Amino acid sequence: MLPLPEALAGQPFLGEPLGCAMNIFRRAGIEAGQTVAIIGIGFLGAILTRLATQAGARVIAISRRAYSLDLARRMGAAETIPLEDHHGIIAQVKALTEGRFCERVIEAVGKQWPLDRPAS
């Protein structure tokens, strides 16, 4: 629990979503020098993008909507990939990371299918 600044007195505050973002970030163990893929750039994905980049990680943001990818860039994402085709996304991440892929992957879409490995 933290006291809010006086400037926020009487104002709505998104405490629960911010708490979730901080919990995910802390539990993911994101560190400087890591490459992190964040799948889904809504409210949660955008916050996680900013937290990860401020920690010194390189973020690859993956999302369906063009404006979400623009938001990810504003939050510090190094690269963005449209969430369209599993094989294409995997190939792009592989190319961007010189075959090493990512130390961390965070799903912020709320659905299983972005994490499913496509059949070869």
Contact 93, 37 (CB under 8 A): yes
For residue 46, the one-letter residue type is: A
Q: Which long-range contacts (CB under 8 A, 24 or more apart) does 10-16 make?
A: 14/43
What domains lie within the chain, and their CATH numbers? 14-110 (3.40.50.720)
What is the model's pLDDT at position 114? Answer: 65
Residues 33-70 pLDDT 10s = 999 999 999 999 999 999 999 999 999 999 999 999 99
For 46, the token pair is 């955008």
Instruction: Report the C-alpha gap between 51 and 21 in whole angstroms.
Output: 9
What is the model's pLDDT at position 118? Answer: 61
Residues 72-87 pLDDT 10s = 999 999 999 999 888 8
Q: Which long-range contacts (CB under 8 A, 24 or more apart) does 71-79 make?
A: 71/41, 71/46, 72/38, 72/41, 72/45, 72/46, 75/41, 75/46, 75/47, 75/49, 75/50, 76/49, 76/50, 76/52, 77/38, 77/41, 77/49, 77/53, 78/53
Per-residue confidence band for 28, with pLDDT thresholds at 50, 70 and 90: very high
Using DSSP, state whether 99 is helix, strand or coil.
coil
